[in-house]
Every structure is written in C-alpha cells, then in structure tokens.
Amino acid sequence: MSKIVRRVFILNFLILLISLFAYSELTLMLFEKEFFYLAGILFLSTCIITFLVHKIIILPLNLDLKNTKDEFEKFNEDIKNSNHQKNFELELINATLQEKIKEQRELTESLENKLLLEIQSKEKKEILLVHQSRLAGIGKVAINSVQACEETVNSVNFLLQNINDEYKRININNNFIDKTMDQLNRIISEMQIKNEELKNFIKPNEVKKEFFLDEIVMESLEMLEDTFMNHNIKIDYNFSKSINLYGFPNEINQVIFNILHNAKEALIEKNIASKKVFISIKKDKDFAYVSIVDNAGGVPEALLGNIFEPYFTTKKYKKSSGLGLFLSKIIIEENMQGKLEFENASEGAKFVITLPISKENES
C-alpha cells in the first residue's frame, strides 16, 4: 500500500474516533449493540471508499507519472545520444574536409612545382638554342677569320722570304735587320700555331691524351710573360707538381690564357698601383683545381650572372668580343667534364677551374 493510502486510512480512523468521542452522550442513550453495528459499517465503508480511490484514481495516476518520468528520461537519453551521434558525424565530416583540403593543397603545390619545372626547362632549352645559334655564327666568323689570317700570314711570309733573298743577294750585314727578320719569322710562326689551334677549336681534331696540368699553366704564363713584365704585373704561384690529367691540353691552355689575359686587361684598365696575379694548383682524390686571382677590384654584383654570357664584356672601351669566357666555359664543362666558376675575392676576381682526375669520361 502506498503512502497516500495509508495516510487516508489513518485520517478516516481519526475521524471515526473523534466522532465517537463527540457523540459519546448520544451513545449512552442508544443501545450498545446498535452503536457498534453503526461504527463497524462506517469503518468498513471508509476502507472500501479508500481502496476504490486508491485503485481507480491514485494507482493509474502514479503509473502515468512513472511512465511520464520514464519517457522523459528516455527522451533525454535519446537527445544525448543524438547529440553525441551528430557531434561524431560533424567531427568525421570535418576530418574528411580537412583531408580533402590537404590533398587539394598538395595537388596545387605539385602542379605549381611541375609548371615551374616546365617553365625552367623551357627557358633552359630556349637559352641553349640561342647559345647554339650564336655559337654557329661564331664558328662561321672564326672560319672566315682563320682563312683571312692564313692568307695574310702567307702573303707576309712570301714577302719576307723575298726580302730575305734580296738581302742575302746584296750581301748587306746589318744586325738590326737580322734581328727584325728573326722577330718577324717568330711572330709568323706563332700566328700559324694559333691559327691551327683556332681551327682545332672550331672543328676539334685533337685527340684526348695525358698531360701534366702544371706544365700547361706554365706554357700560358710564358706566352704572357713579356706583357706582364712590361706592365709591372707581379705573378705569384703555388703549384702542386705532377698532376696527371686526361683530355685536351691545348684547349686547357686556351682557357688559362683567356683568364690571365682578362686579368691583365683589368689591372691595366683600372690603373692598379701594385698589380698582382696569384695562381695555385691543388688536387684531392678526384679533382684538380686551378685558381687564378687578381687584385683589380672584381666585377659589380649586378653583373655576376652575366660573366659567362656570349658577347658580354666588362672592358670600358669594348676591346673584347665578349666570347673568351663563354668559349672557355664550354671547353671546361663540355669537352673536359669539369667546372669553370667565378666569384669576387677580397681584392679582385677569382676564377676556379675544376677538372676530373679519373679517365672515366674517356671517349
């Protein structure tokens, strides 16, 4: 029995006691038997009414309240579960979206990199085509120059021979003329040698062979020795001896000569008080290094990227064709599989030639 039923029953019992006490005088006047019958009927009626109220009204009401409470709790639980599910779905969607954004970003970066590489490749191809076109033009000009120079040398040589024959015929003894004739013959011989070297460069027919690097550098120095002395240019050098290489020694000679000639021109043009050129030859396990440094002040930073471009020159009065360093880089990097690099040193320009010691590129 519920608390409510018990309370109703107790209340009815109290009412009955109070009624009995209130009407005690009346009970004295009634018969004792009839009074107790009446009291019993009243008590029984009260119990029946209380039971019926509990059964018909209170129990269904409690059941409805309990069901309502259970439904409300279930509804709250469903809402919580629904919120958890939605939160999980939102987190899953967000993670998927972030992954898609990441993939899209990576794809965009990949496409940008590919596009950049294609542009750079195209630019390199275009530059190479321009260089090849210019080089073809250089070859034609050089061939014409060689042919014209050969004709001039042959003509001068013929005239000198006539002069020499006539000079011997009249039998004149003149030391000045003898010395001059010797100098002219030496100059003509050197021009013929240079013509042959230029021919070899335009259409190389020199075969690869072994040579000592220090000997080639010394040959280049000897060719410029008089010029350096006449302009008070001091040469210092530090050579590692007996570095044996395999390649084209005449072409290496041309490169060394070009760099030394450029150093001489820069020192003279800038009127350096104490003109100096330092040459070093070193090696490690795989490579030999020729370093040529002057104190002519170097090259402006804005022009560093153009040093090896064809037709580029830093000479004030444009005395140069601007092809020397361009051709030198081709010789070193394409014919010798090495590197020719430039940088500004503390007082001037610095060229570094790197040449492989091994014969793995032999062909």
Of residues 352 and 59, more confidence is placed in: 352
Rounded mean pLDDT of 223-246? Answer: 86
Of residues 20 and 44, more confidence is placed in: 44
350 pLDDT more than 60: yes
Of residues 343 and 363, more confidence is placed in: 343
Neighbour tally for 332: CB within 10 Å = 22
Burial of 336 (0-12, 13-18, 19+ CB in 10 A): buried
C-alpha–C-alpha distance, residues 293 and 226, integer Å: 19
272 pLDDT more than 60: yes
Of residues 142 and 277, more confidence is placed in: 277
Phi, psi torsion values for 275, nearest 5 degrees: -80, 130
Judge whether 298 and 348 are in contact, CB under 8 Å: yes
Judge whether 243 and 214 are in contact, CB under 8 Å: yes
If you average pLDDT over each of 55-64, 151-160, 228-237, 319-328, which comes out highest? 228-237
Rounded mean pLDDT of 227-245? Answer: 87
Tell me whether strands 233-239 and 275-283 are parallel, antiparallel or unpaired: parallel
Rounded mean pLDDT of 293-303? Answer: 87
If you average pLDDT over each of 39-53, 85-99, 209-223, which comes out highest? 209-223
Rounded mean pLDDT of 168-177? Answer: 66
Q: SS3 for 287?
A: strand
User: pLDDT band at 289, cuts 50/70/90?
Assistant: very high
Rounded mean pLDDT of 327-331? Answer: 85
Considering the domain delimited by 209-356, tell me its CATH architecture. 2-Layer Sandwich (3.30)
DSSP state of 318: -
Proportion of the chain above pLDDT 70, given as a percent: 60
User: pLDDT band at 31, cuts 50/70/90?
Assistant: very low
310 pLDDT more than 80: no
Proportion of the chain above pLDDT 90, given as a percent: 12
70 pLDDT more than 90: no
User: Dihedral of CA 236/242/246/248: which sign?
Assistant: positive
Q: Which two tokens stand for residue 242?
A: 């007996």
The chain-wide mean pLDDT, for the chain, equals: 75
295 pLDDT more than 80: yes
User: pLDDT band at 362, cuts 50/70/90?
Assistant: very low
Of residues 94 and 7, more confidence is placed in: 94
Rounded mean pLDDT of 39-58? Answer: 67
Residue 130 confidence (pLDDT):
63
DSSP states along 111-170: HHHHHHHHHHHHHHHHHHHHHHHHHHHHHHHHHHHHHHHHHHHHHHHHHHHHHHHHHHHH
Residue 44 confidence (pLDDT):
72
Residue 128 confidence (pLDDT):
58
Neighbour tally for 323: CB within 10 Å = 19
Judge whether 303 and 314 are in contact, CB under 8 Å: yes
27 pLDDT more than 70: no
User: Dihedral of CA 88/89/90/91: which sign?
Assistant: positive
Q: Which helix (H) or strand (E) holds 312?
A: none
58 pLDDT more than 80: no
330 pLDDT more than 80: yes
Residue 356 confidence (pLDDT):
93
In tens, the pLDDT along 107-134 reads 888 888 888 888 877 766 666 566 556 5
Q: Which of 189, 91, 107, 191 is nearest to 149 (CA)?
A: 191
Residue 239 confidence (pLDDT):
85
C-alpha–C-alpha distance, residues 339 and 329, integer Å: 7
In tens, the pLDDT along 180-206 reads 667 777 777 666 666 665 665 555 556
User: pLDDT band at 290, cuts 50/70/90?
Assistant: very high
